């Protein structure tokens, strides 16, 4: 399926920390536009060992986009009940560090007599005072990989859904472009003929005074030759043919599967080139307006194509 490069997915998994305590691990996977596949990881130390596996999963599933895995965990609320019956369930107190902290506080208060004593919350937050249960490394890695895989699948589902919507938008735009071509292409020969008549008239008036020595027949023949050569240069049949070919290529790409963003980006350049040529060769206000409308629609498509993988 055609996918967008933007999306989001998340999943959770539980990790046993020992002593009856369980942690809830949350893994998020976010993706935005990028020219290539750019992977980033913001994982806590406990989950670092899972990074190679997450990287391999992402490279096998995605081809473009800036993708970031984020993980965070917290002790399950059910651990509070376990702590009531087992005071060591949520962590063990380091008595040596606690004594050292108390000594430091007394010395500080000798110098700063108005200093307040540390609160219980401040003591418990002091580094090294409480050694919290962390669980085994293998358990963290297994849980992170499982949650990461589920988050990546959710991300891909969201990218597929957005990609489907973008296909509808792009198909609608190509249909509008075909309508413009369908209206203006049959009228171009008439516009060219009208322009030829005006050009012939103007050239006749401009050259009549300078070509008095020549007969009127010779003068008109020369004018006709110049006008015909100019008409060849302003012929846009080839541009219309290429324009329709590129539109068909866009529709074929949108009807296919897999990554198509880079191909569509190239086709946007080709469509824009043909629209610019139509504008430069325009011989009527209607042709100029049609070329401008085509360029506007192409720019709208280009903006949407930037989101496709």
By percentage, how much of the chain surpasses pLDDT 70?
77
d(CA 241, CA 151) in angstroms, rounded, equals 46
pLDDT band at 80 (very low <50, low <70, confident <90, very high): very low
Q: Which residue has the higher pLDDT, 141 or 231?
A: 141
Q: Which residue has the higher pLDDT, 99 or 271?
A: 271
Give pLDDT, residue 22.
Answer: 84
pLDDT at 243 exceeding the cut of 80: yes
298: which residues sit within 8 A by CB, 6+ positions away? 177, 268, 271, 272, 275
DSSP annotation string for 6-29: -EEEEEEEEEEEETTEEEEEEEEE
39-68 average pLDDT score: 94
Give pLDDT, residue 213.
Answer: 47
Give pLDDT, residue 212.
Answer: 53
Give pLDDT, residue 87.
Answer: 53
The CATH class given to the 7-81+135-159 domain equals alpha beta
Could you give the strand order of the β-sheet that contains 21-32, starting from the edge strand earlier in sequence? 7-18, 21-32, 65-75, 37-42
d(CA 18, CA 37) in angstroms, rounded, equals 38
Give pLDDT, residue 105.
Answer: 86
Diameter of the chain by CA atoms?
Answer: 121
Residues composing the chain: 309
Give pLDDT, residue 61.
Answer: 92
Give pLDDT, residue 152.
Answer: 97
Give pLDDT, residue 21.
Answer: 78
pLDDT at 211 exceeding the cut of 70: no
Q: Which residue has the higher pLDDT, 200 or 173?
A: 173
Range among 108-122, 127-141, 167-181 rated most confident: 167-181
pLDDT tens, residue by residue, 155-174: 999 999 999 999 999 999 99
pLDDT band at 188 (very low <50, low <70, confident <90, very high): confident
73-92 average pLDDT score: 60
- The structural domains of the chain, with segments of one domain joined by +, span 7-81+135-159, 95-125, 186-306
The average confidence (pLDDT) of the chain is: 83
d(CA 283, CA 204) in angstroms, rounded, equals 19
By percentage, how much of the chain surpasses pLDDT 90?
43
Q: Which residue has the higher pLDDT, 53 or 101?
A: 53
> Which tokens in the block code for residue 168?
């509808």
């Amino acid at each position: 399926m055609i996918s967008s490069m933007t999306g989001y997915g998340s999943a959770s998994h539980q990790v046993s920390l020992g002593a009856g305590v369980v942690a809830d691990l949350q893994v998020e996977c976010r993706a935005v536009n990028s020219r290539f596949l750019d992977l980033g990881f913001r994982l806590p130390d406990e989950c670092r060992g899972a990074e190679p596996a997450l990287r391999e999963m992402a490279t096998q599933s995605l081809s473009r986009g800036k993708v970031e895995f984020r993980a965070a965990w917290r002790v399950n609320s059910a651990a509070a009940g376990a702590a009531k019956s087992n005071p060591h369930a949520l962590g063990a107190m380091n008595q040596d560090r606690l004594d050292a902290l108390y000594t430091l506080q007394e010395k500080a208060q000798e110098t700063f007599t108005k200093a307040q004593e540390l609160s219980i919350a401040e003591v418990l937050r002091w580094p090294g005072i409480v050694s919290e249960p962390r669980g085994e490394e293998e358990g963290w890695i297994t849980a992170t990989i499982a949650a990461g895989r589920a988050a990546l699948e959710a991300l891909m589902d969201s990218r597929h859904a957005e990609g489907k919507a973008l296909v509808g938008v792009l198909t609608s735009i190509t249909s509008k472009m075909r309508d413009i071509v369908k209206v203006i292409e049959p009228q171009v020969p008439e516009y060219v003929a009208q322009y030829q008549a005006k050009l012939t008239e103007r050239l006749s008036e401009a050259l009549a005074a300078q070509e008095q020595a020549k007969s009127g027949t010779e003068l008109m023949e020369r004018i006709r030759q110049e006008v015909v050569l100019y008409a060849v240069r302003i012929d846009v049949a080839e541009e219309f043919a290429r324009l329709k070919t590129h539109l068909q290529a866009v529709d074929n790409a949108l009807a296919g599967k897999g990554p198509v963003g880079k191909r569509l980006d190239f086709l946007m350049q080709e469509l824009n080139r043909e629209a610019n040529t139509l504008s430069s060769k325009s011989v009527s206000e209607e042709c100029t307006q049609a070329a401008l409308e085509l360029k506007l629609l192409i720019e709208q498509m280009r903006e949407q194509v930037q989101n496709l993988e």
